[in-house]
Amino acid sequence: MSPAKLVIALTKGRILDEVLPLLEQAGVTPQEDIRNSRKLLFDSNLPNVRLMVIRGSDVPTYVELGSADIGIAGKDMILEYGSQGFYEPLDLKLARCRLMTAAAVGARLDGPRLRVASKFVNIAKRFFAEQGRQVDIIKLNGALELAPLMGLADCIVDIVDTGKTLKAHGLESRDWIADVSTRVIVNRAAMKIKHAEVQALLQRLQQAVERQQVV
């Protein structure tokens, strides 16, 4: 019996650049140059594995609904989407950063109601609800650092790497929300129906991650 076909959804951008060498170590390589192609779906060196390249925010949707068997996305996108619809068996330990709140240096955030700007609307809502804070969430897709400077918001919820961008805009990180790295997610039905193929790939990826940590 031939192996079941697997579709792997990859995240565009920085994560793709870091994941492709790891996939290669795990024995999966695209048949053409993904980075310089306008295509979104690619054959690989393995006849039963295809790769798709999409926005990180769409990866959980494709995996939960079964259009992709496996997805590789940042933990931030998984938290924002909600992780009930799939398994999350592996941390690839790539693109590490933190989800945090940030505000103008020295700004007081003790008012009765906060205005919070973020593209991570669901994460922000959950975090402040757990804090017992009343908030108005303002959805922005970029340039979050401007929101406190221009009086649009009291604080932001965003990804923080080195903190240099915050500092350049007179902001400082405040509350830690979550550690973020690149994760593997698996469709629930695929984990059962294509168990052998999924587990074999997960094992090779795990071994590649372990080798990378040693280096």
Using one digit for the tens of pLDDT, what is the confidence trace for 60-98? Answer: 999 999 999 999 999 999 999 997 889 999 999 999 999
In angstroms, the CA 75 to CA 184 distance is 9
Higher pLDDT: 1 or 164? It is 164
88 and 189 in a single domain? The answer is yes
Helices (H), 98-150: 121-131, 146-149
Q: Considering the chain, what is the average pLDDT of its residues?
A: 94
> Residue 56 sits in which domain range?
6-95+181-214
Give me the percent of the chain exceeding a pLDDT of 90.
88
One domain for residues 91 and 101:
no
Say if residues 73 and 180 touch (Cβ distance below 8 Å).
no
Mean per-residue pLDDT for 20-30?
95
Element (H, E) at 132: none
46 has a pLDDT exceeding 90: yes
pLDDT at 8: 98
- The full DSSP string for 151-183 is TS-SEEEEEESSSHHHHHTTEEEEEEEEEE-EE
Q: What is the DSSP string of 90-107?
A: EE---S-EEEEEEEETT-
Does residue 103 sit in the same domain as residue 168?
yes
Q: What pLDDT, on the 0 to 100 scale, is given for residue 212?
A: 83
Cα–Cα distance measured from residue 62 to residue 12, given in angstroms and rounded to the nearest whole number: 14
For residue 30, is pLDDT > 80?
A: yes
